Amino acid sequence: MSNRSRSVQVDRGANKIYYRITVMGGAGVGKSSIISQFLYDRFLSEYKKTVEELHRGEYDVNGSKLTLDILDTAGAYTFPAMRRLAISTSDAFVLVYAFDDPTSFEEVKTLRDEIIAEKGTEHVPIVIVGNKCDRLDDIDQIERETVETTACIEWGNGYVEVSAKDNVNIIGIFKEILRQCNYQYALSPAVKRRRASMSVISNNVMTTKEKKRHNSCKSR
């Protein structure tokens, strides 16, 4: 990956790790609500249209500083130039669809294709998120399993079901993203020695905030 497209920075002396994560998906699927729950423990009950907003989370873990810049974006079909820039400057992507909006998974597919085209590789940390699982009772079970199979088997991406409203599994999204980032990172021989400490980081972020261990909202 080129320097332009890969913004991960590691300062060995000071033990600093930085990832830029972009959250994308259709309008109203809950992107801003997910970020708000993760960073500020708050649920946004009112819908406010987002163009683009950058948030920062900083964590001290075992003497290392982990910085996550999290970019909140507008829906899939707006602002193509901004979207391309966001893709080229990000390390990892959270692609969100909502269980109560059957068309929103189509937008996730379009976005994933765009990310892969822009990055020029399929080896990009991506997690597919099904949000609003508090509304699962209304959802067709077969459709849900098809989505999971597409995300995990066909695409080889992570898949997490969450509710930003009830704060279910939100930490699971960021745990999965860090797991994938660490794996990508470990592929570089020059940084293999850092691998062990990075996996400690993702585990610790988990244990401080994790509410659930599994990636699905409810048993099937």
Ligand X SMILES: Nc1nc2c(ncn2[C@@H]2O[C@H](COP(=O)(O)OP(=O)(O)O)[C@@H](O)[C@H]2O)c(=O)[nH]1
Q: Residues in the site for ligand X, rule: CB under 6 A? A: 25, 27-33, 44-45, 47, 50, 131-132, 134-135, 163-165
Task: Find the binding residues for Mg ion in span 61-90 (CB under 5 A).
Answer: none
Alpha-carbon gap, residue 31 to 26, rounded angstroms: 9
Supply 117's token pair: 């085209």
* Residue 50 touching Mg ion (CB under 5 A): yes
Closest CB to ligand X among residues 47, 77:
47
Instruction: Show Cβ contacts of residue 8 under 8 Å, excluding neighbours closer than 6 positions.
Output: 17, 18, 19, 20, 91, 181, 185
Alpha-carbon gap, residue 116 to 156, rounded angstroms: 13
Vertex 217: Cα angle to 211 and 218 (nearest 5): 115
95 binds, among ligand X, Mg ion, none (CB under 5 to 8 A by kind): none
Residue range at the interface with Mg ion (CB under 5 A); choices 24-32, 152-160, 184-192, 201-209: 24-32
Backbone angles phi, psi at 166, to 5 degrees: -95, 5
- The nearest distance, CB 76 to Mg ion, in angstroms, is 12
Nearest to 2 by CA among 108, 98, 121, 93: 121
* Residue 32 touching Mg ion (CB under 5 A): yes
Vertex 104: Cα angle to 28 and 179 (nearest 5): 90
Closest CB to Mg ion among residues 50, 184:
50
Closest CB to ligand X among residues 8, 69:
69
179 binds, among Mg ion, ligand X, none (CB under 5 to 8 A by kind): none
Closest CB to Mg ion among residues 72, 161:
72
- The nearest distance, CB 111 to ligand X, in angstroms, is 12
Radius of gyration of the CA atoms of the chain, in A? 17
Closest CB to Mg ion among residues 105, 185:
105
Supply 6's token pair: 């890969």
Closest CB to ligand X among residues 78, 121:
78
Residue range at the interface with Mg ion (CB under 5 A); choices 25-33, 106-114, 125-133, 152-160: 25-33
Residue range at the interface with Mg ion (CB under 5 A); choices 43-51, 103-111, 159-167, 176-184: 43-51
Instruction: Show Cβ contacts of residue 54 under 8 Å, excluding neighbours closer than 6 positions.
Output: 69, 70, 71, 72
Which residues sit at the interface with Mg ion, rule CB under 5 A? Answer: 31-32, 50
